[in-house]
Amino acid sequence: MHRKRVTLRDLAEHLNINTSTVSRALSEKSSEMISPDVVKRVRKAAQEMGYKQNAAAYALKVGRTKSIGIIIPDMMNPVFAPIVRGIHSVLNQYGYTAFLAYSENNASAAHSEVEKLISRGVDGIIYAAAFRTDSVVDLCKSHSIPLVLVNRVVDQGNVDTVKVDDSLGIKMAVGHLLDLGHRKIGFIAGPKNISVSYIRLRAFTQTMAEHDLEVEPHRIVEAHSLTEEGGEKAMSVFLGQNPDATAIIASNDLIALGCFTALTQFGYTCPKRISIVGFNNMPYLDWFAIPLTTISIPHFQMGERSAELLLKRIDPESDDHYEEVLLKPKLIIRQSTAPVIRRKKKIAST
Amino acid sequence: MHRKRVTLRDLAEHLNINTSTVSRALSEKSSEMISPDVVKRVRKAAQEMGYKQNAAAYALKVGRTKSIGIIIPDMMNPVFAPIVRGIHSVLNQYGYTAFLAYSENNASAAHSEVEKLISRGVDGIIYAAAFRTDSVVDLCKSHSIPLVLVNRVVDQGNVDTVKVDDSLGIKMAVGHLLDLGHRKIGFIAGPKNISVSYIRLRAFTQTMAEHDLEVEPHRIVEAHSLTEEGGEKAMSVFLGQNPDATAIIASNDLIALGCFTALTQFGYTCPKRISIVGFNNMPYLDWFAIPLTTISIPHFQMGERSAELLLKRIDPESDDHYEEVLLKPKLIIRQSTAPVIRRKKKIAST
DNA sequence: TTGAATAACGCAAACGTTTGCACTAGAGTA
DNA sequence: TACTCTAGTGCAAACGTTTGCGTTATTCAA
């Protein structure tokens, strides 16, 4: 077959015309300054000879690579799969491709990943692993490369974001538990240097306050990370200091899973003894032994919107004011929550 | 900050030396032909002025992009996350980055994704979505770009692969079921144009034969895809024509999940009425209502090995004989399999 | 018939690297 | 002293595109 890649010049020589003409004939925008039949002949020859544009040469010349970078915190967390899918789905429509990197929830790792991506010349970055104060946004700004934040946002303003209404989500969760009769509700928070953890926790105390329920400090414990392991440890200390709690809200589905295992270590059952609600509605939750009641976020749509936003920002003639799209969460009721049982007297367990 | 990217020439002018000297001083291999103190000065200046190599220019010049493409069949299938992670882990050590694409289990989609990747100039491709006869390997061969197949392989030889011993895995599964007393064992196969489906099915009948158990045709039904939905449909027809079966082996964990739902639609229970074993040991299986007995494959290691193999093949001075690494599976016994209950008389269910 | 206007195309520079080759100066040898 | 060698550096071409500008041929108006 073709040992060597066929280039514009190859085409030009074959057709006895100049490479500039070939280039223009192939380009959608500038093909109109070329006579129609030349365009046709060029494109036919390109097809036959298997011409593929050399991305490196294009990038070097025009300064755009038609590629972007995606950074997620954790590849093993299944929530990000549909987000990435959403991103891809719009990227494909515009001839863009994506580098995927992950930060392992580590700020400096994220920073160096972004540096690598910038060095690769990506046209923009979708960042799903932000901390509340994050050097990555300054990094991107100083290199004047477009950046959009998904899900996790950053305290400083002036950056495109697509996030979901976390407060509303928590409000729904609390409302649901209150409806079931729960009053002694605990909260397993995530690290408060991550926006979602911070906001969800704040929304929890606020919503409780709105219902005239003050939440005492021991009702809240912070997990060191948004993972199963973090959730398990935090839940252990929570159960130690809250023997009377009947429900807990986890900042995260993964944390909720950790709560489950801590629960069984204490010999408690869910939802009989304690109700649990998570956040994110990660895939395959329906299959779980205790299907987790959780707050669903529109993963795929989040991916789509962020990609659209980024592409818009990459466009040279875009206006320069930042956008912030806010998506609505949804309460998914499963079996991990149940009405609170009021027991006047102690009853021997069977 | 730096509005414009600093280039080799910027450095050269700043130091009053030639760009070629700067280039050589920065390069690890050719810096030895430059006097040590010049090297030091250049590197210091590069550091201070924030020089980053222009990847596009490098790629255009040397013909290598230091990037590869990964193609997986389905982003929502959690098995691929650890594989991708394994790939990344070795890629990072060598300054490589990866484009991630997925084929949705569609041959032509895979083909066009590969074409896009090649056009992007990737140095190699890791292909986890192969069909038994697949145009992608010819495509790569004709462009003489390195390719390694993971998990799913291809009938035609002469291509680097890393796979797991599927036959051994099935043998383990069958052995496990036989130990539990099962004899009437069914098999929900995947599409037979995919190597793993084909091999696993063949291994099933062979292993059964080795135990003097002939498997009748109605004991095998083929799902149209390696998904939950495919498994569910196939399992429905299976149950319709096999009311006496006590165990089934699914070609895939996802298919096994589909089997579960079909099972409950028929009012059957697992593992009481029927045992199920899957394949792949996808993440979070431990959490399931019926924890699935399955064959575990070394995902992460598969990723690592395939990346190593690809990098070796990309290296210009590598020998040119193809390698085939074969990894060992492991039987993971959970609760979806149980001893067969022999009932002489019909007993009313309680 | 002459002029300008337009359409179609060619020329050549440029993007930022790498690298073969030429060049210089100083060291070593005879 | 005159010679060759070599270490260190500069020159310039090349990778494959895109694009501003110059050139030619054709059309249209006067």
A36-56 pLDDT per residue, tens = 999 999 999 999 998 999 999
CA dihedral A196, A199, A205, A208 (to 10 degrees): -80
Distance from the A286 Cα atom to the nearest Cα atom in chain B, whole angstroms: 9
Asked whether the domain spanning A166-296 has the same topology as the one spanning A62-164+298-328, the reply is yes
Q: Give the C-alpha distances (Å, rounded to integers) separating B104 from A88, B107, B113.
A: 12, 9, 11
> Using the beta-carbon criterion (under 8 Å), do B99 and A97 form an inter-chain contact?
yes
**Sign of the CA dihedral running B104, B107, B109, B113:** positive
Phi, psi at residue A346, to the nearest 5°? -75, 135
Other CB atoms within a 10 A radius of the CB of residue B139 amount to 18
B65 contact residues in A (CB cutoff 8 A): 56
Give the residue on A whose Cα is nearest the Cα of B55. Answer: A120
Other CB atoms within a 10 A radius of the CB of residue A137 amount to 20
| Buried-exposed string A304-314: b where 16+ CB fall within 10 A, e elsewhere | bbbbbbbbebb
Ordered by start, the domain boundaries in chain A are 8-53, 62-164+298-328, 166-296
CA–CA gap between residue A229 and residue A257 (Å, rounded): 9
Cβ B147 vs Cβ B138: under 8 Å: no
- Residue to test with chain B: of A7, A75, A114, A264, most B Cβ within 10 A: A75
Query: Can you tell me the mean pLDDT for A172-183?
Result: 97
CA–CA gap between residue A56 and residue A53 (Å, rounded): 9
> Using the beta-carbon criterion (under 8 Å), do A55 and B119 form an inter-chain contact?
yes
Whether residue A350 is predicted with pLDDT greater than 70 in this model: the reply is no
For residue B349, what pLDDT is reported? 45
| pLDDT tens profile B129-183 | 999 999 999 999 988 899 999 999 999 889 999 999 999 999 999 999 999 999 9
Distance from the B175 Cα atom to the nearest Cα atom in chain A, whole angstroms: 27
Tokens for A5, please give them: 């890649």
| pLDDT tens profile B230-256 | 999 999 999 999 999 999 999 999 999
Residues 6+ apart with CB under 8 A from B92: none
Which of A55, A101, A142 is nearest residue B120 as measured by Cβ atoms?
A55
Give the nearest nucleotide to A61, CA to C1'.
C15
pLDDT band per the 50, 70, 90 thresholds, residue B343:
low
Tell me which CATH code domain A62-164+298-328 carries.
Answer: 3.40.50.2300
Place of tokens 């990943």: A113
For residue B276, what pLDDT is reported? 98
Give the nearest nucleotide to A12, CA to C1'.
C10
> Using the beta-carbon criterion (under 8 Å), do B85 and A76 form an inter-chain contact?
yes
Whether residue A3 is predicted with pLDDT greater than 70 in this model: the reply is no
Strands B330-332 and B294-296: antiparallel
Q: Listing from the earlier edge strand, what are the strands of the sheet with B247-250?
A: B220-222, B185-189, B247-250, B275-277
Peptide bond preceding A271 in cis form (omega within 30 of 0)? yes
| pLDDT tens profile B207-233 | 999 999 999 999 999 999 999 999 999
Q: Give the C-alpha distances (Å, rounded to integers) separating B166 from A161, B82, B133, B172.
A: 45, 19, 18, 10
Distance from the B87 Cα atom to the nearest Cα atom in chain A, whole angstroms: 11
Please report the residues numbered 195 through 254 in chain B whose beta carbons come closer than 8 angstroms to any beta carbon of chain A: none
Query: Can you tell me the mean pLDDT for A219-227?
Result: 96
Provide, in whole angstroms, the distance separating residue B20's CA from nucleotide C21's C1'. Answer: 13
Tell me which CATH code domain A8-53 carries.
Answer: 1.10.260
A122 contact residues in B (CB cutoff 8 A): none
Whether residue A349 is predicted with pLDDT greater than 50 in this model: the reply is no
pLDDT band per the 50, 70, 90 thresholds, residue A346:
very low
Residues 6+ apart with CB under 8 A from A315: none
Residues 6+ apart with CB under 8 A from A5: A52, A54, B143
> Using the beta-carbon criterion (under 8 Å), do A97 and B75 form an inter-chain contact?
no
- Residue to test with chain B: of A2, A3, A54, most B Cβ within 10 A: A54
Which of B115, B117, B289 is nearest residue A288 as measured by Cβ atoms?
B289
Give the residue on B whose Cα is nearest the Cα of A3. Answer: B143
Whether residue B201 is predicted with pLDDT greater than 70 in this model: the reply is yes
Work out the mean pLDDT of chain B and round it to a whole number.
93
Phi, psi at residue A203, to the nearest 5°? -60, -35
For residue A4, what pLDDT is reported? 73
For residue A146, what pLDDT is reported? 94
Whether residue A134 is predicted with pLDDT greater than 80 in this model: the reply is yes
Work out the mean pLDDT of chain A and round it to a whole number.
93
- Report the protein residue whose CA lies nearest the C1' of nucleotide C7: A33
The amino acid present at A144, given as its one-letter code, is: S
Query: Can you tell me the mean pLDDT for A123-151?
Result: 95
For residue A303, what pLDDT is reported? 98
Tell the CATH superfamily of the B62-164+301-327 domain. Answer: Response regulator (3.40.50.2300)
Please report the residues numbered 65 through 84 in chain A whose beta carbons come closer than 8 angstroms to any beta carbon of chain B: 65, 67, 75-76, 78, 81-82, 84
The answer to whether residue B47 neighbours chain A at the CB level (below 8 Å) is: no
Whether residue A317 is predicted with pLDDT greater than 80 in this model: the reply is no
**Sign of the CA dihedral running A199, A189, A192, A103:** negative
Please report the residues numbered 288 through 347 in chain B whose beta carbons come closer than 8 angstroms to any beta carbon of chain A: 288-289, 291
Whether residue A347 is predicted with pLDDT greater than 90 in this model: the reply is no
Cβ B166 vs Cβ B194: under 8 Å: no
pLDDT band per the 50, 70, 90 thresholds, residue A319:
confident
- Per the structure, the residues numbered 38 to 57 in protein chain A that have their CB within 7 angstroms of any atom of strand D are 51-54, 57
For residue A343, what pLDDT is reported? 58
Please report the residues numbered 125 through 164 in chain B whose beta carbons come closer than 8 angstroms to any beta carbon of chain A: 141-144
Architecture of the A166-296 domain: 3-Layer(aba) Sandwich (3.40)
pLDDT band per the 50, 70, 90 thresholds, residue A1:
very low
| pLDDT tens profile A159-175 | 999 999 999 999 999 99
Give chain D positions with protein CB within 7 A: 7-12, 14-20
Selected residue with higher pLDDT from A222 and A344: A222
Query: Which residue, among A340, A325, A328, has the nearest Cα to A248 in the 3D structure?
Result: A340
> Using the beta-carbon criterion (under 8 Å), do B120 and A67 form an inter-chain contact?
yes
> Using the beta-carbon criterion (under 8 Å), do B53 and A2 form an inter-chain contact?
no
Cβ A301 vs Cβ A84: under 8 Å: no
Other CB atoms within a 10 A radius of the CB of residue B122 amount to 27
CA–CA gap between residue A212 and residue A300 (Å, rounded): 37
CA–CA gap between residue A295 and residue A312 (Å, rounded): 30
pLDDT band per the 50, 70, 90 thresholds, residue B341:
confident
What is the per-residue DSSP string for A266-286? TT--TTTT-EEE-SB--TTGG
Whether residue B344 is predicted with pLDDT greater than 80 in this model: the reply is no
3-state helix, strand and coil shares in percent for chain A, rounded to the nearest 5: 45, 15, 40
Percent residues over pLDDT 70 in chain A: 97
Provide, in whole angstroms, the distance separating residue A8's CA from nucleotide D12's C1'. Answer: 24
pLDDT band per the 50, 70, 90 thresholds, residue B3:
low
Provide, in whole angstroms, the distance separating residue A16's CA from nucleotide D19's C1'. Answer: 20
pLDDT band per the 50, 70, 90 thresholds, residue A75:
confident
A8-15 and A36-49 helices, crossing angle to 10°: 120
Determine which of A243-252, A309-318, A333-342 has the lowest per-residue pLDDT on average: A309-318
